[in-house]
Amino acid sequence: MNARAFLGTLAIGLAIALPARAMSIERVSSPGGIAAWLVEDHTNPIVAMSVSVSGGAALDPDGKAGLANLVADLLDEGAGDLDSQAYQGKLNDLAIELSFEVGHDSLNIDLKTLTENRETAFGLLGLALAKPRFDPDAIERVRSQELSALAQELADPHAVANRALAAMLFPNHPYGRPAKGDPESVKAIARDDLAAWTAHHLGRDALIVSVVGDVTADRLKSLLDAAFAGLPAHADPVSVPEAEAQGAGKVQVIRRPFAQSVATFAEAGIKRADPDWYAAYVMNDILGGGGFSSRLMHEVREKRGLAYDTESYLIPRDHAALVGGGVATRNDRMADSLAVVRREWQRMADQGATAAELAAAKKYLNGSFPLELSSTGALAGLLNVIQRNGLGLDYLDRRRGLIDAVTMADTRRVARRLLRADRLATVVVGDPKGM
Amino acid sequence: MTAPRTAIALLILAFSQATPAAAQVFDAESFTLANGLEVVAVANHRAPVVSSMIWYKVGSADEEPGKSGLAHMVEHMMFKGTKTVAPGMFSHLVAENGGRDDAFTSFDYTAFYQDIAVDRLPEVLRLEADRMTNLSLHEKDFAPEHQVVLEELRMRVDNSPGGKLNEQMNASLFLNAPYHHPVIGWRSEVEHFTLADVIAFQRRWYAPNNAILVVSGDITAAQLKPIVEKYFGPLPRRKLPPRVRLDEPPPLAARTVVLRDPNVHQPDWNRLYLAPSYSTGDTKYTYALEVLAEVIGADSSSRLYRHLVIEQKLASEVWAGYSPESLGPTSFDFYASPNPGVDLDKLGAAMDAEILDLVDKGVAADEVERAKTKLRAQVAYARDSYQTGARVLGSALATGRTVADVQEWPQRIAAVTPELVNEAARAVLRDLRSVTGLLLPARPGEEASGGNAPEQPIPELGRSLR
């Protein structure tokens, strides 16, 4: 379920406060009707764009899990008159970085180019979206790559654990299926499925676009049309049922000959639009989200040396939400590690955060915001998350206030509401003793 | 995954692939304090933040026999308190100032960094200077951190069939150079570290005249200098041990390492060739070898991908890479992962045929020109992030390079000729210099290779779990 990757995106979206240097976000609308947010930055000859398209792996048909992922793999494998090698050759020769990635709720596109190649870069993206070739040899090559990657995942206990946990949490919902599918479902995907996916889900009204870098609003308008005007006006409406996390209190042990057991766990969480979101966000930072300063790191790693890494996180998807975490420990101490984690989980639920912890978390979450502006690409991604969550152009100005407004009572209330150690669904991969 | 305070050389690889020691691009100024501390400021004024990194010129290759992994253990203990900062408080203080910190160790260096708002830079430099000379360590903090390092070793090596194979290949490639042993160390030696080992190593190597401070971001040398003078200026020089990088004997035999593991379900094929670095061996070939790696294995337009993935349909993934940034010798690397149903021997034979063809017939002039263009395009991207300058300049200076070397990288790449690329390929891609590594599933009934060695009893940490 790719919890960590998802969390990364999220953390960017939320770790914002006002950058000390003025940064103005412009709304741009192209003649072809494409809307985008733009931050002009002419420091370097680079343009970066981040796009999300509503509808991701959750829309994969039954028996064809991995379809959207395969589409994403194939969009840059030939389009229009250019076969795979011709298309890839242009990207590579001009150092244009283009990637398509699928999450459960969206297809995400990142484009980075030097200014001198920006017309070509946006044009190549336009070709990929409007006229993907899906050549049979490219399909089979990419399918083989996906099957090899799935086999490779079996050597990674984290990947094995995350897959099993998703199935436990969402047994009858698309969120329970891996975005990359499984070998059988990947083999079942046909060329028609790929073509149907783009026909149904790529439309101008499904796009959220943000651009940062060396481009003016005027010039951007024609670039946007080069990339997106070739798409139909409307995509099919996205329809995914709401889901509640299942598996409360279950523990599944998957026996594998690993020297270190890996545990991953989660329970129902909180959505991004919930009024208590910021309280949950700050509370999670204190519990296990805040690097070396979190309670889990302190109790599990610093004090007892039980693990190299442990963490907690919030996953607010469009149709379900989770609060979860993970820890990895030698087989004969896994039971001890989980006991410490559960105790901290429950202690936070019962007592909330201390005043000192709350103050420190606020300082960190507000103070570290400008670190997110590390590059044009990072800023474009950040603007996209803000748009996608409907946070508004003024979010950068409001965010510090939202964090600062969280009180002790808020963290206590939200912790009591969200955290129940006996409700965690848990998967352990390895050879844990006494479990 | 968060990758707290640690290790290892992946980072170097990432730089050499994506952001080659970029040149005029960096707006860098340097100066040296009277006590020998080298300081570099790299300006990038996009946001009011900096990446502050201190690089110590000591890595796993500087460890004494029997103490493999000690440099990395010391890196962990640098967070465990000084005369005035309590154990674990370093990271808390950085976080309270809105910063993020971590550290990593490699063969040739140990680096610590903080990304933070520029107005908080003095505070982190004060803390960094403090722990260079005032470390104050205790057994009660060493014991749990020792276990953390062993957990890290389980994660990176025992739990990772590819990690285990990588260690075995390096040990087979470097017969005499100190890169023979892994950065994280051999478990049998890591298990026996003592607090006294840590203290002695830290005192021996951590000194201003063995460190480079690089701050990149919203800063200039003029702004940086008084802060650095204030906190680092008073620290005393130390007499330093020599950094010894023994030469490799002339290679005489192609070696093959086979690792079977029950957790492997997707085999892969790996090849290392003993290669010169910027500092050691036939250094005239280094830039040509960077171009060669780009020509044959950098992306989906490269030779190996076209031949093995697209035309012969043998591999799902294939790759070549080379990082010349090393004080001693280094390696030129190949990797290939077979398509489902393809025998690894068949894939290996096809890789050998490609490499042989390359050595025999050489690369074409237009291939070299395209590769050079692509490498130079990366320079503009390297300038984009405020963090990149600190990482690129720090790792270069810690491995014997100068700021000028880094600044001139694009010109040196531009000067590479097809003839030099072919000469370099002939010199380096020779069987006798090679180690081949095969990662395979276990045969039925076979146990995990080394991963399930009997655990040592855990020392009592003096804290009850219940």
Q: How confident is the model at residue A369 (pLDDT cuts 50, 70, 90)?
A: confident
CB pairs under 8 A between A and B: 227
Q: What percent of chain B has pLDDT over 90?
A: 86
Residue type, position B395, single letter: S
What is the model's pLDDT at position B374?
86
Q: pLDDT grade, residue B447 (50/70/90)?
A: low
- Quote the minimal CA–CA distance from B329 to chain A in Å: 30
- For B10-232, which CATH class? alpha beta
Across chain B, mean pLDDT equals: 91
Distance, CA of A331 to CA of B199 (rounded, Å): 31
At CB < 8 A and 24+ separation, what contacts does A5-8 make?
Answer: A5/A103, A6/A103, A6/A315, A6/A317, A7/A313, A7/A314, A7/A315
The residue type of A34 is I
pLDDT of B396 above 60? yes
Which of B75, B153, B263, B313 would you mutate first to test chain A, the one with the most A CBs within 10 A?
B263
Q: Do B337 and A147 touch (CB under 8 A)?
A: no
| Contact between A360 and B370 using a beta-carbon 8 Å cutoff | no
What is the model's pLDDT at position A181?
Answer: 97
Mean pLDDT of chain A: 93
Q: Check A259 against B159: CB less than 8 A apart.
A: yes
Q: Which residue of A has its CA nearest to B45?
A: A43
Q: Which residue of B has its CA nearest to A326?
A: B1
Q: To probe the interface with B, which of A18, A374, A382 has the most B CB atoms within 10 Å?
A: A374
CA–CA min distance B306, chain A (Å): 8
pLDDT at B25: 65
Question: Rounded CA gap, A329 and A301, in Å?
Answer: 10
- Residue count (chain A): 435
Tell me the catalytic residues of B: 75
Name the residue facing A309 among B2, B45, B377 (closest C-beta).
Answer: B2
Residue-level pLDDT at A5: 30
Distance from CA of A272 to the nearest CA of B (A): 22
Share of chain B above pLDDT 70, in %: 90
Within 8 A of A364 by CB-CB distance, chain B residues are 95-96, 98
Lowest mean pLDDT among A36-40, A290-294, A354-358, B423-427: A290-294
pLDDT for B20 equals 39
Beta strands B49-56 and A321-330: pairing type?
unpaired
Residue from the list B117, B146, B377 with its beta carbon closest to the beta carbon of A95: B377
The answer to whether B151 contacts A305, with C-beta atoms less than 8 Å apart, is yes
Question: Can you tell me the mean pLDDT for A201-230?
Answer: 97
Query: In whole angstroms, what separates CA A377 from the centre of its chain?
Result: 15
Could you tell me the residue ranges of all domains in chain A? 3-13+21-228, 251-430
Q: Do A367 and B97 touch (CB under 8 A)?
A: yes
Q: pLDDT-derived band of residue B444, with 50, 70 and 90 as boundaries?
A: confident
Quick check: B6 pLDDT over 50?
A: no
Sign of the dihedral defined by the CA atoms of residues B211, B216, B221, B227, in that order? negative
Q: What is the pLDDT of residues A180-190, one digit of tens each?
A: 999 999 999 99
Give the closest-approach CA distance of A78 to chain B in angstroms: 13
Report A:251-310 residues touching B (Cβ under 8 A): 256-260, 262, 290-293, 297-298, 301-309
Q: Which residues does A96 contact at the CB level (< 8 Å), separation at least 6?
A: A90, A111, A112, A113, A117, A120, A121, A124
Closest-approach residue (CA) in chain A for B376 = A95
The whole-number pLDDT of residue A16 equals 33
Q: What is the mean pLDDT of residues A212-217?
A: 97
Longest CA pairwise span in chain A (Å): 66
> Is the fold of A3-13+21-228 the same as that of A251-430?
yes
pLDDT mean over B106-123 = 97
Question: Is residue A399 classed as helix, strand or coil in its secondary structure?
Answer: helix
Q: How far is A313 from chain B (nearest CA, A)?
A: 11
* Neighbour tally for B184: CB within 10 Å: 26
Nearest CA in chain B to A145: B316
Mutate to test the interface with A, among B119, B124, B264, B301 (most CBs of A within 10 A): B301
Which of A93, A291, A331 is opposite residue B374, by nearest beta carbon?
A93
Q: What is the pLDDT of residue B463?
A: 32
User: What whole-number distance in Å separates Cα of residue B199 and Cα of residue B104?
Assistant: 18
Question: Domain locations in chain B?
Answer: 10-232, 255-441
* Alpha carbon distance B299, A306 (integer Å): 40
Structure tokens at B93: 């203080």
Interface of A with B in 204-233 (CB under 8 A): none
Instruction: Give the model's confidence band at B366: pLDDT under 50 very low, under 70 low, under 90 confident, else very high.
Output: very high
Short-list B187, B188, B115, B117, CA closest to B158 = B187
Give the CB-side neighbour count of residue A306, counting CA atoms within 13 A.
Answer: 28
Handedness of CA B216, B222, B223, B227 (dihedral sign): positive
Q: For A121, left (φ over 0), alpha (ψ -120 to 50), or beta?
A: alpha
How does strand A207-213 pair with strand A35-40? parallel
Option in B266, B381, B455 nearest A330 (CB):
B455
Confidence of residue B376 (pLDDT cuts 50, 70, 90): confident
Compute the distance between CA of residue A245 and CA of residue A173 in angstroms, rounded to an integer.
10
Q: Which candidate from A20, A157, A304 shows the least CB-CB separation from B461?
A: A304
Helix or strand run (H / E) with residue A37: strand A35-40
Closest CA to B291 of B420, B152, B204, B149: B420
Give contacts of B452 with chain A, Cβ < 8 Å: 257, 259, 431
Q: How many CB atoms lie within 10 A of CB B128?
A: 23
**What is the Cα–Cα distance from A297 to B185, expressed in whole angstroms?**
24
The conformation of residue A318, written as its DSSP 8-state character, comes to S
pLDDT at B456: 54
**What is the C-alpha to C-alpha distance for residues B304 and B296, in angstroms, rounded to an integer?**
6
Residues B63-71 have a mean pLDDT of: 98
Mean pLDDT, range B56-71, rounded to an integer: 98
pLDDT number for residue B455? 56
Kindly report the CA angle at A368 between A364 and A370, in degrees rounded to 5?
155
Q: What is the mean pLDDT of residues B124-131?
A: 98
Which three-class secondary structure state does DSSP give residue A407?
A: coil
Please tell us whether the domain made up of B255-441 is placed in CATH 3.90.199.10.
no
CB contact under 8 A, A19 and B48: yes
Q: Which of A370, A293, A369 is nearest to B95 (CA)?
A: A293
B-chain residues near A302 (CB < 8 A): 88, 144
pLDDT in tens, B278-311: 999 999 999 999 999 999 999 999 999 999 999 9
- Looking up tokens 């950058």 gives A19
What is A3-13+21-228's CATH topology? Cytochrome Bc1 Complex; Chain A, domain 1 (3.30.830)
* A292, A382, A403: best to mutate for the B interface, most B CBs within 10 A: A292
pLDDT 10s digits, B218-277:
999 999 999 999 999 999 999 999 999 999 999 999 999 999 999 999 999 999 999 999
Helix (H, G, I), strand (E, B) or coil at A125: helix
Backbone angles phi, psi at A98, to 5 degrees: -130, 125
- Min Cα separation A239/chain B (Å): 31
Superfamily of domain A251-430: Metalloenzyme, LuxS/M16 peptidase-like (3.30.830.10)
CB contact residues (below 8 A), chain A span 43-102, against chain B: 43-46, 84-85, 88-89, 92-95
Beta-carbon contacts of A333 under 8 Å, excluding residues fewer than 6 positions away, are A306, B458
Q: In terms of pLDDT, which residue wins out, B46 or B334? A: B334
pTM of the model: 0.92
The confidence score (pLDDT) of residue B31 equals: 97
Question: CB-CB: which of A145, A307, A431 is closest to B151?
Answer: A307
- Across the interface, which of A112, A256, A260 has its CB nearest the CB of B154? A260
Any idea which residue has 């970029």 for tokens? B22
Q: What is the 3-state secondary structure (H, E, C) of chain B?
A: CCCCCCCCCHHHHHHHHHCCCCCCCCCEEEEECCCCCEEEEEECCCCCEEEEEEEECCCHHHCCCCCCCHHHHHHHHCCCCECCCCCCHHHHHHHHCCCEEEEEECCCCEEEEEEEEHHHHHHHHHHHHHHHHCECCCHHHHHHHHHHHHHHHHHHHHCCHHHHHHHHHHHHHCCCCHHHCCCCCCHHHHCCCCHHHHHHHHHHHCCHHHEEEEEEECCCHHHHHHHHHHHHCCCCCCCCCCCCCCCCCCCCCCEEEEEEECCCCCCEEEEEEEECCCCCCCHHHHHHHHHHHHHHHCCCCCHHHHHHHHHCCCEEEEEEEECCCCCCCEEEEEEEEECCCCCHHHHHHHHHHHHHHHHHHCCCHHHHHHHHHHHHHHHHHHCCCCCHHHHHHHHHHHCCCCHHHHHCHHHHHHCCCHHHHHHHHHHHCCHHHEEEEEEEECCCCCCCCCCCCCCCCCCCCCCCCC
Identify whether the C-beta of residue B55 lies closer than 8 Å to the C-beta of residue B394. yes
pLDDT at B446: 73
Separation CA B180–CA B196 (nearest Å): 25
What is the average pLDDT across B148-156? Answer: 97
